[in-house]
Structure 1
């Protein structure tokens, strides 16, 4: 006799007792229990805790991203490189299998695998170069001590001061010189 045959199904009263003692952090806590042939009084007693526990629980919880999203040109280059590398790996496997089988297709596949390896290397370098160019043009914003960030801050401050000085001059011009001291 196996363990499944030795185990007896719990009666309705035992099922209610087991349901009440279930861990509230159980993953199936919002699934209503089927209490079989329990009487009307017992059904209400069993369903009340299930109804209290049933609440909306989302399938997943959104977490903030740990890293910033890659810029579009860099992401495009990365996708292109991954596709080229995948095709290169498939060609290499086909070339290997054709060589083992002694097929006439082995030699052309080896040549195309070599050419594809060169293109895949170019694709990987393209990702790196595109990333460097993007960082150089737009500044590195990921590090708080970034020199690009400090330069932008200084430029904004200078622009603010220039606008404030221009507004002050415009105010003086509108008043027609009123408000200026007659002598220094």
Structure 2
């Protein structure tokens, strides 16, 4: 099984999303022959800019060398996504949203004619037959509450590119009851 691991926490140590992602990866790979690709978003993801936009919307056969170079990082990220059967995302909530580096990753992989296309009835996701696990960690923002702005966004954007089998592992609300929240998350991981 090929697994793509995305770590979105900017904290390299002491990050609950990273700790729980370690546990989930261990659970998924136990006793199996697996290849895990690790993409640590804290190491940096290029932001899209005007040159990227122009290159992306230029037909592949008409791209200049400069435009091809501009899309190299994006092409690598899209390739990682396509190769994976499972996507494991360790995602903290920062200021009621996803970390900027994760949004940058989304911008790099959501590409017309590559990960989605427009059909007669609207957009069609092209990244199919994938399973996504998203470990959410937060101090105070609980999933499913009126201040949870990310779970619907994540379901939508992943579904937009074709990833509709999404499981959330909830470790939100760590600031309120850390031990109970972590115990709940560990049990959810064990059930995977």
Which is strand-richer, 1 or 2?
Answer: 2
* TM-score, length of structure 1 as denominator length: 0.20
Which is helix-richer, 1 or 2?
Answer: 1
* TM-score, length of structure 2 as denominator length: 0.19
